[in-house]
Amino acid sequence: MRAARSLPDLPDIDGTETFDALVRKLSVYFVQAIEAPHEWDELRGEVYGIFLRPLTRYLVDDVQHEAIVCALLALKWHFDALEHGDDRGINETRGLACELVAWRFVTHLTQRETIDFLCRDLPSPRRDPCPRESNGDLQAADLDGNLEEAVHERAPLLDAYSPNLEESFYDEQPQDSEYGEQSGFASTFANLNALEIAAVSNAKKFLGQKSIQQIIDGIWKGEIVFWETLGTHSKKEAKVYRKSHADPFCRLRVPLYLKAFEVLFFAAFLALYYVVLVQKHANSVTVPEIMLYVWLASFSYNELVEYWDAGSIFYATDFWSLWDLGIIFVGIAFFTTRMLGLVDHDGVATDVAFDILSIEALFLVPRICSLLSLHPYFGMLLPVLKEMTKDFIKFLGLVAILYLGFSTSFSFLARGTFTFREMNWILIKVFFGSSYLGFDIADQISPALGPPLMFIFVCMTNILLITSLISLLSNKLDSIMLHARDEYLFVYAVYVLEAATSNRLTFFLPPLNLLPLMLRPLRLIVSPQQLRNARIVLLKATHWPFVLALLGYERGRLWMDDRLPAGSSVGSERLSRNAPSALRRPLSRKAFSTTRPPLLGDQPRPGRSAAVAAADATPPASPETVEGLHAAVANLRTQVEQLSTMLSQARATAVEVGS
């Protein structure tokens, strides 16, 4: 990119554009501004200052469109999709530029605006009838908005629209394309908020920034909620949690609490699993075995609901989804074989059933330890192991090809001495390090060809292939560890969003999630409103002990925070209900439309002094931008001057008293 060339024209955004039109206008600017590949650090330096900062200032100062962040992240997804058909790396750079502008835009927002921009769902396009009505009956009486529109399941996004070079803004004159009318971004990302779009588009740089992580942490701890009331006409809306206004049963949806209940559920699951295996009643079904079936059924149903609710993109992104599917499939295989053995009085089938159940531990034991994945150290290792496993599986293809050739040669050379099975078992032992065994039998395989072929096989496997594999995985480990933090924060963000942004109003904890199935036949005779009310009543009747435990925990936590000294880091981590966060805007900005409902109250809490309220009304700047750093330094200088004045007055007063 040549710094001497002229800056592209800023997009003309008046705030009334449709989502597709907004995406198209932004795409024109990025295509004209980014004409060469750059790394993230290069974009943050010279490229941002010359080409991207004017766009950020324009979006901050003059644009009042609430889908700005969503549009930028949707463009990130589109550019990444185009990158598969282009080897120049320009589209990848454009995607990173979209992340950078979206992040810098967020750093100029207050907490209320940040929640609004990041957590508000994109509306469904009016012209598009929902194409997934067949899936709506799964939770039809439990979605927000109009109950008859309960079909907004998060379906696979990448299957809805696949961009190609001809219908994109990839050409040098994107203003002449029909991209805005053909893209269908509004329907592709309908009912997703900016954070979810970031997860779908793999915007790991965006999700890894402090200002974004603060919002995700608030969702994780329940300080930002999407459901504040639990009623027939309740609607999903992101707000800062206010205990005086919120229904206590909505606390069941807090991701932190959901993770705690999940660990308890798997602990009970594992206990029942061990009891059934230890007892092993071959001719009868015991109470622990029945309870194991109930746990397995509730877990399977919960996974099915999560899949339909989150969509295949989010579900596949979760690292533990493979373990969950393994638990379900092994459990189904055990149940089927077990029932066949009981019906036919077949002892062999029963033994096979319990052997299958023994395999369940391979998935169940790691799954109960998934809590460790939320710790930064272990959380960074999981993406590393995942990528190294992919490379290892690819490498096994080369190993299989070489092994097949040697296996064929040795098997025919050893005819009459070793069977095909015996020969291959010997080669497997040699492959895994028992090279002396191969040399001992080389003469028996073939006096002339056996020793040299075995020498070549040992060198190929024990030296060349093993050394190459170790080097390959070591290089992969080094490359991934450079971005391990981004990978961990991405996995963490996906889990939080998957747990918190569900469209279901009522959330039943397993194994109690099987109880609402009894209400499903009522769909034939009662209205959706009555069915939703019945689910709410059932939830309150079955989950009140859990809610009492959560309220007791929160009360105890508040009591502990009150006992901590003022300014303690523990007590200051929680989001204030009224004070803006560290997400500030040092640039001037037009006021947003007053028709937008506020997410936070503007009045200070009782008991707060006027000085504190005034300090909150003039928020300090965020240090994530250069402008914010200058503002923070200026604010600190002012505070030091005020402190110096106070000390001078105190000394003068002390002198007067002494005299």
DSSP 361-379: HHHHHHHHGGGGGGSHHHH
Determine phi and psi for 143, rounding to 5 degrees.
Answer: -105, 160
pLDDT value, residue 494: 83
Q: Is residue 145 left, alpha or beta, with left meaning phi > 0 and alpha meaning psi from -120 to 50?
A: left
Cβ neighbours of residue 496 closer than 8 Å, sequence gap 6 or more: 216, 219, 220, 255
Most confident listed range (204-208, 268-272, 578-582): 268-272
Contact between 255 and 501 under an 8 Å Cβ cutoff? The reply is no
Q: State the pLDDT at residue 337.
A: 94
Q: By mean pLDDT, which of 275-289, 388-402, 583-597 is the weakest? A: 583-597
Alpha carbon 112 to chain centroid, angstroms: 23
Lowest average pLDDT, out of 147-161, 343-357, 388-402, 420-434, goes to: 147-161
CA distance 277 to 281: 9
> How large is the angle between the packed helices 361-368 and 321-344, nearest 10 degrees?
140
With CA atoms as reference, report the closest residue to 490 among 209, 90, 128, 116.
Answer: 209
Residue 213: predicted pLDDT: 92
CB 204 within 8 A of CB 557: no
User: Would you place residue 238 in the very low, low, confident or very high pLDDT band (cuts 50, 70, 90)?
Assistant: confident
Tens digits of per-residue pLDDT, 219-237? 999 899 888 888 878 888 8
Of 190, 223, 172, nearest in space to 581 by CA: 223
**pLDDT the model gives residue 627:** 54
pLDDT at 589: 46
The share of the chain scoring above pLDDT 90, in percent, equals 18
CA–CA gap between residue 395 and residue 338 (Å, rounded)? 38
In sequence order, the 6+-apart residues with CB closer than 8 A to the CB of 480 are: 383, 384, 387, 388, 487
The C-alpha atoms of residue 397 and residue 469 are separated, in whole angstroms, by 12
Q: Is the dihedral of CA 544, 548, 554, 557 positive or negative?
A: negative
In order, the DSSP letters of 213-246 are HHHHHHHHHTSEES----STT-----EE--TTTS
- Cβ atoms 492, 259 nearer than 8 A: no
pLDDT of residue 625: 52
Please tell me the predicted confidence (pLDDT) of residue 185.
Answer: 79
Spatial separation of the C-alpha atoms in residues 272 and 238, rounded to whole Å: 39
What is the tens place of the pLDDT at every residue in 251-281?
Answer: 888 999 998 999 999 999 999 999 999 998 8
Q: What is the pLDDT of residue 585?
A: 41
> From CA 121, how far away is CA 118, in angstroms rounded?
8
Chain mean position to CA 67: 21
Pick the more confident residue, 335 or 447: 335
Distance CA 649, CA 630 (A): 29
- Residue/partner pairs of 221-225 with CB below 8 Å, 24 or more apart: 221/254, 221/256, 221/574, 222/251, 222/254, 222/255, 222/256, 222/257, 223/574, 223/575, 224/115, 224/119, 224/575, 225/250, 225/253, 225/254
Question: Domain coordinates of the chain in residue numbers?
Answer: 255-374, 387-482
The answer to whether the beta carbons of residues 182 and 99 sit under 8 Å apart is no
How confident is the model at residue 230, as a pLDDT?
84
Amino acid identity for residue 659 in this structure: S
What's the confidence (pLDDT) of residue 350? Answer: 92
Compute the CA torsion angle 158, 161, 167, 171 (nearest 10 deg).
-20
Q: How confident is the model at residue 498 (pLDDT cuts 50, 70, 90)?
A: confident
- Across the range 446-460, mean pLDDT stands at 88
At 599 the pLDDT is: 38
- Tallying the residues shown for the chain, one arrives at 659
Q: How many CB atoms are closer than 10 A to CB 278? A: 8
pLDDT at 541: 92
Q: Which residue has the tokens 């439990």?
A: 142
